């Protein structure tokens, strides 16, 4: 949904969710700032379910915690293993098997929605357009539409 980096996910705290405004505030360490995203209903509901039913109760303000004792903030490599195992369980085959696959999927979706590379870079928290150009892949569906275009009466 948001295309967050693994480190950004594990750095999220309970205080980064503004329930009154339905906003998720993401610390962007590379840019030394915070970026706000609309908190979608699906994501908000998932967070509520996680906090109420799964997250261990403790004094830590970090959103995501290790389930097994000792209770501690989730480490980035734990996120990799969680995502990779879920992708395997769902039999989803992709070049990247960890959380970066989700980041790429988000960027690919934004490309398909015809956002500019600048808009995609802003969404993903890139400092430069150079980092975003990785996602400028060939739109085969669009190229097929162009190839099927009939010049008919134009000639």
Q: Which of 37, 80, 96, 100 is catalytic?
A: 100
pLDDT tens digits for range 121-147: 888 988 887 888 777 665 556 556 656
Question: CA dist 124 to 75, 77, 101, Å?
Answer: 21, 20, 13
pLDDT tens digits for range 7-52: 899 999 999 999 999 999 998 877 778 899 999 999 999 999 999 9
Which residues are 123's β-sheet partners? Answer: none
- This model's pTM is above 0.75: yes
Query: Out of 2.60.40.420, 3.40.605.10, 1.10.443.10, 2.60.40.730, which CATH number does the structure's domain 6-154 have?
Result: 1.10.443.10
Q: In what order do the strands lie in the sheet with 33-38?
A: 17-18, 23-28, 33-38
- Catalytic, 126? Answer yes
- Catalytic, 123? Answer no
- Catalytic, 100? Answer yes
């Amino acid at each position: 949904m948001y295309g967050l980096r693994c480190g950004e996910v594990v750095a999220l705290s309970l205080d980064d969710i503004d329930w009154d405004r339905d906003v998720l505030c993401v610390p962007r360490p590379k840019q030394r700032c915070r970026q706000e995203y609309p908190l979608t209903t699906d994501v908000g509901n998932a967070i509520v379910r996680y906090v109420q039913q799964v997250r261990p109760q403790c004094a830590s303000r970090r959103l995501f915690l290790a389930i097994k004792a000792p209770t501690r903030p989730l480490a980035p490599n734990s996120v990799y293993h969680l995502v990779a195992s879920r992708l395997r369980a769902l039999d989803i085959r992709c070049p990247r098997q960890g959380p970066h696959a989700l980041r790429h999927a988000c960027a690919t979706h934004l490309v398909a929605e015809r956002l500019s590379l600048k808009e995609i870079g802003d969404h993903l928290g890139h400092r430069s357009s150079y980092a975003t150009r990785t996602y400028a892949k060939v739109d085969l569906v669009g190229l097929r539409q162009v190839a099927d275009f009939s010049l008919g009466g134009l000639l």
